[in-house]
Structure 1
Amino acid sequence: MKYLVGETPAGNAVFAVKGENAVNITALDAQIGADLQAVIETPQLVESLSEQITAADAVPVASITPALPVAAPSAIICVGLNYTDHIKEGGYDIPDYPALFMRSKASIMAAGKPMVRPTCSETLDYEAELMLIVGKGGRHISEADALDHVFGYTVFNDGSVREYQRKTHQWTPGKNFDNTGAIGPIVVTKDEVPEGAAGLTIESRVGEEILQNSNTANMIWGVRKIIAIVSEYTTLAPGDLIAMGTPPGVGHAKKPGPRWLKPGETVEIEIEGIGICASPIVDEKDTAA
């Protein structure tokens, strides 16, 4: 199944996507709610609607304004340094353990919403990433069982303000500026993609300019391993989001470069079989009320 959470006159709703069209399944059953949290926790809600979804009126996907797939995840966990060539372009040594950091709720936004270049720095960079959505929670999850804990996958742009990322050994400042992490719009359940979402082309671009092009098969730590590693130290909950790291080609490493995102551009992140996350770039001063 493919899902899209979108805005409607009655509030946000969950849509089941069928090709270029989508059905508002929140309108079919109010228990579905305004985001994917209820579906993640109780997949049977959608299974019971299969006949109604087939018969219901659909609207074009292109007409839906995306909202966050999960409005209030209990954790947003990000993996750094997960592609060898990206590690090398950043001048790091190949680690034995993944770099892990957290994002705040204020730092993320839905696909299609503006990504904000902050007033204090022009060093806004892009990072194309696969993001997994936890289905079944747990602690000390084994690699063998890890995929049983995945609900699905979406697209993430880990917008990073490099100047502030480098002000400290901890990456928190550069990774948590307001409205820099774009998520969505499409969420695919795990049965829609290869096991562990491996072998998918992942790309970032601005217009015709290809910025990154790689494959999720190139991740050092795959989905199984990351779930096992993260669940060693924290209890994962349904709806938690885990971003899987970015491939080479980021702006700070471009030669000649660097290549920062600029207001007026639109950056697109595309993952094969999942979709495109597009974000127009705006300057913070132009967002002030």
Structure 2
Amino acid sequence: MIIRYERNGKIKHGWMVEEDHKVRVIEGDIYKIQTAKPIMTGLELSMDEVTLVAPAAPSKIVCIGANYRDHVSEMAMDLPKEPLMFLKPSTAVVGPGKPIVYPRLTENLHYEGELAVIIKKEAKQVKAEDAEDYILGFTCAIDVTARDLQMKDGQWTRAKGFDTFCPLGPAIAPKLDYQNTRIVTRVNGEVRQDASTSQMVFSVPQLLEAVSAVMTLLPGDIILTGTPAGVGELKPGDEIAVTIEGIGTLATRVVCEE
């Protein structure tokens, strides 16, 4: 799997060999598929020598609401007739192990475990049948929400947009059975969400078609594909982990704003 890591003050991509606890260094831009192709250097590093950072640095995160049938029922909503989109700013992104900061402006912080799609190349007016040509891979995500602000504002920008409200990681799986993949969210070790992506109302290709009909997606941009039932509250000190089969586990904790 592809990782993005920091070492000696520099950020690079690598290929994680998990069973050997090593990373193979990649030189070049993994998003440039025509020129300056990335190369495997042959250099290997121990995972202990590097620090994982968010696997992508998106210009925007496009999120999809109400996209799991059980979550729609949980929220007493009607199934959407088309994807419900909203945005998170790029400044919401944090990498594996970086804490979620509980803002002083909210008293009701919620988690939503999600499958994230990472865009490989500029995508505009993409058809669903061509979607896979535009996908670099998949990673785990947590859509953090200040639920009281969401209800108060009537729209979602403030509630979804705080710094640290979009943990991503730990790695990018280039290939994944995204139509039937298990996603599990645990808070303090207790299972809170356990579902399959087969419950999605709109599939990954359908989402890429819908989003790219509205806005141009750039290399590294993220689509969050929605959350299953079982969303709930987070408190300072809580530990949260999202596991997606074929990708791994994204784990972090909640801390108070200083």
What is the CA-CA distance between 1:268 and the residue it aligns to? Answer: 0.3
1:267 aligns with 2:248: no
Partner-residue secondary structure (3-state), 1:144: helix
Contact 1:125 1:159 in 2 (8 A): yes
What is the CA-CA distance between 1:63 and the residue it aligns to? Answer: 5.8
Contact 1:107 1:176 in 2 (8 A): yes
1:84 aligns with 2:69: yes
Letter in 2 for 1:127: E
Give aligned pairs, total: 256
Contact 1:114 1:179 in 2 (8 A): yes
What is the CA-CA distance between 1:75 and the residue it aligns to? Answer: 2.1
1:249 aligns with 2:236: no
Letter in 1 for 2:109: L
Partner-residue secondary structure (3-state), 2:152: coil
Superposition pairs for residues 166-245 of structure 1, below 5 Å?
A: 166-189=151-174, 192-194=175-177, 197-245=178-226
Distance 1:179 1:265 in 2: 15
Partner-residue secondary structure (3-state), 2:207: helix
CA RMSD of aligned residues (A): 1.7
Partner of 2:52: 66
What is the CA-CA distance between 1:136 and the residue it aligns to? Answer: 2.4
Contact 2:236 2:256 in 1 (8 A): yes
Contact 2:70 2:199 in 1 (8 A): no
Letter in 1 for 2:104: T
Partner of 2:83: 98
Structure having the higher strand fraction is 2
Distance 1:135 1:200 in 2: 21
1:40 aligns with 2:40: no
What is the CA-CA distance between 1:167 and the residue it aligns to? Answer: 1.4
TM-score by length of 1: 0.83
Residues 42-89 of structure 1 deviation map (CA, whole Å, 9 limit, x = unaligned): 38734x42xx43xx33313x6642212223x22210001000110111
Contact 1:15 1:22 in 2 (8 A): no
Partner-residue secondary structure (3-state), 2:10: coil
Between the aligned residues of both structures, percent identity stands at: 33
1:124 aligns with 2:109: yes
Letter in 2 for 1:165: Q
TM-score by length of 2: 0.93
Which shows bigger deviation, 14-23 or 145-154?
A: 14-23
Distance 2:71 2:195 in 1: 10
Distance 1:214 1:221 in 2: 15
Letter in 2 for 1:218: Q
1:140 to 125, 130, 133: 125
1:149 aligns with 2:122: no
Partner of 1:25: 25
Partner of 2:7: 8
Partner-residue secondary structure (3-state), 2:211: helix
1:57 to 34, 44, 51: 44
Residues 256-284 of structure 1 deviation map (CA, whole Å, 9 limit, x = unaligned): xxxx2111221001100001111111011
Distance 2:208 2:188 in 1: 34
Distance 1:104 1:118 in 2: 16
Structure 1 segments, 4+ long, off by >6 Å, are none
What is the CA-CA distance between 1:24 and the residue it aligns to? Answer: 4.7
Letter in 2 for 1:248: A
What is the CA-CA distance between 1:130 and the residue it aligns to? Answer: 0.4
Distance 1:148 1:75 in 2: 20
Structure having the higher helix fraction is 1
Letter in 2 for 1:284: E
Q: 1:64 to 1:205 in 2, by over 3 A?
A: farther
Consecutive unaligned residues in structure 1, runs of 5 or more: 33-37, 252-259
Distance 1:99 1:265 in 2: 29
